[in-house]
Amino acid sequence: MEDRVFVLTLLISLSSASVSASFFFPNITGAIPPWQKLPNATSLAPWDAFTNFSGCHSGETRDGLSKLKRYFSNFGYFPDSSSSNFSDDFDEELEKALKTYQRNFNLNVTGQLDDRTLEQIVRPRCGNADIVNGSSSMNSGKPSSFQTVGHLLHTTGHYTFFPGTPRWPVYRRDLTYAFLPGNELTDEVKAVFASAFQKWSAVTPLTFTETDSYSTSDLTIGFYSGDHGDGEPFDGVLGTLAHAFSPPSGRFHLDADENWIVSGDVTRSALPSAVDLETVAVHEIGHLLGLGHSSVEDAIMYPTVTSRTRKVELGDDDIQGIQSLYGGNPNYNGPTATTPTTTTEDWETSGGEIPYSASRWILAGFLAIGSWILLS
Ligand SMILES: [Zn+2]
Ligand SMILES: [Zn+2]
């Protein structure tokens, strides 16, 4: 039994409120998912073509560089750009974005598309931007003495917050969460999320309780496919895996097209594109609570996740970050944030949610079927 790996596949149909018809996929249970027919599902990952830019540097023009610029724009590296009409020229703006990216991910700041950098760029990752509203809070936004060098830290406090440091207010310490009813998740899947929430409640005064009342829940969790109405469309297998909004939004979306591994050993999955659900859930809950991305590779809040890997334990950086927002759990015996270093100007402000995406949020007619596929 231990060797069996279960994959949850979710097919979700969606339509906007303006479209009355919705799509439904009946009797999906037992069907062979399309990815099983593919010789190598990872070759379809949306960013793999970027590896063709190996060695590319300033002054060159290459077909498709505009797509790389859009990638950087999506994750906040083109703060001044309107993110439209990118050229295929390796211009100064791209070089600047690339250097910032390299700093954030502890790479050699070459300003060129060297192999190490490309390797990092094509990794599946969280859809949240690394730089929000132009202010970088990862390595590139810190003085060099605060930056990580490999795995060694010069100091603690690499965790980051959203601009304005939004967090759940003091009178909201017992938060509820609900699953998008149309997803019809099994108890086994729900248990994965409960376990992910527990990682954060263990080190804070926060508690998380599931509720059936989706409309009144503090936190809402849903699997969506492609464009789902918030301006941040998902992109199929790998690429962007999930995203979540800062407090007090509570919205947490996962890409329904990923090959989510719910139980079993993800590192032994036969699927190159297998992604561990709890690993992603622990990360996104960090965003729901107010944490941004960290440059510390071992931290849960590091932006990328390699497929077929599992990382569900909070790192010291994560714990220090979350405890500087909410304080510790009196019953917790592990490392605590003894010298929390807040990085922003006004962390008492629990302002509005950070809209890294369009404010439009019209979703209707979600129908989903979850099916368990026994792989071996
Ligand atoms: Zn993230
Ligand atoms: Zn979304």
CATH number of residue 266's parent domain = 3.40.390.10
Write the pLDDT tens digit of every residue in 327-365.
999 887 776 655 444 433 333 333 333 333 222 222 222
Check pLDDT > 80 for residue 145. no
Residue 129 Cα, ligand 1 centroid: separation in angstroms?
7
**Domain holding 87: CATH number?**
1.10.101
> Catalytic residue positions?
284
One domain for residues 209 and 261: yes
- Which has the higher per-residue pLDDT, 355 or 178? 178
Query: Is 63 known as a binding-site position?
Result: no
Quote the mean pLDDT of the chain: 79
Ligand lying nearest the CA atom of residue 286 = 1
Check pLDDT > 80 for residue 368. no
Asked whether residue 134 is domain-assigned, the answer is no
pLDDT (0 to 100) of residue 273? 92
Query: Is 230 known as a binding-site position?
Result: yes
Query: Is 235 known as a binding-site position?
Result: yes
Ligand lying nearest the CA atom of residue 128 = 1
Number of domains in the chain: 2
- Which has the higher per-residue pLDDT, 41 or 231? 231
Asked whether residue 212 is domain-assigned, the answer is yes
Q: Looking at residues 56-75, what average pLDDT do you find? A: 96
Write the pLDDT tens digit of every residue in 205-240.
999 999 999 999 999 999 999 999 999 999 999 999
- Give the confidence band of 141 by pLDDT, cuts at 50, 70, 90: confident
Ligand lying nearest the CA atom of residue 75 = 1
Residue 131 Cα, ligand 1 centroid: separation in angstroms?
11
One domain for residues 164 and 260: yes
Q: Looking at residues 75-100, what average pLDDT do you find? A: 88
Residue 170 Cα, ligand 1 centroid: separation in angstroms?
24
One domain for residues 278 and 218: yes
One domain for residues 359 and 277: yes
Ion ligand 1: residue ranges with CB closer than 5 A: 126, 128
One domain for residues 107 and 236: no
One domain for residues 58 and 186: no
Q: Looking at residues 73-89, what average pLDDT do you find? A: 84
Query: Is 158 known as a binding-site position?
Result: no
Query: Is 253 known as a binding-site position?
Result: yes
One domain for residues 166 and 111: no
Final residue before a domain boundary, out of 121, 140, 163: 121
Give the Cα separation of 163 and 124 in Å (integer): 25
Residue 21 Cα, ligand 1 centroid: separation in angstroms?
33
Query: Is 301 known as a binding-site position?
Result: yes
Ligand lying nearest the CA atom of residue 291 = 1
Residue 304 Cα, ligand 1 centroid: separation in angstroms?
8
Ion ligand 2: residue ranges with CB closer than 5 A: 230, 232, 253
Asked whether residue 144 is domain-assigned, the answer is no
Residue 216 Cα, ligand 1 centroid: separation in angstroms?
25
Domain limits for position 87: 48-121
One domain for residues 70 and 189: no
Asked whether residue 173 is domain-assigned, the answer is yes
pLDDT (0 to 100) of residue 360? 21
- Which has the higher per-residue pLDDT, 112 or 13? 112
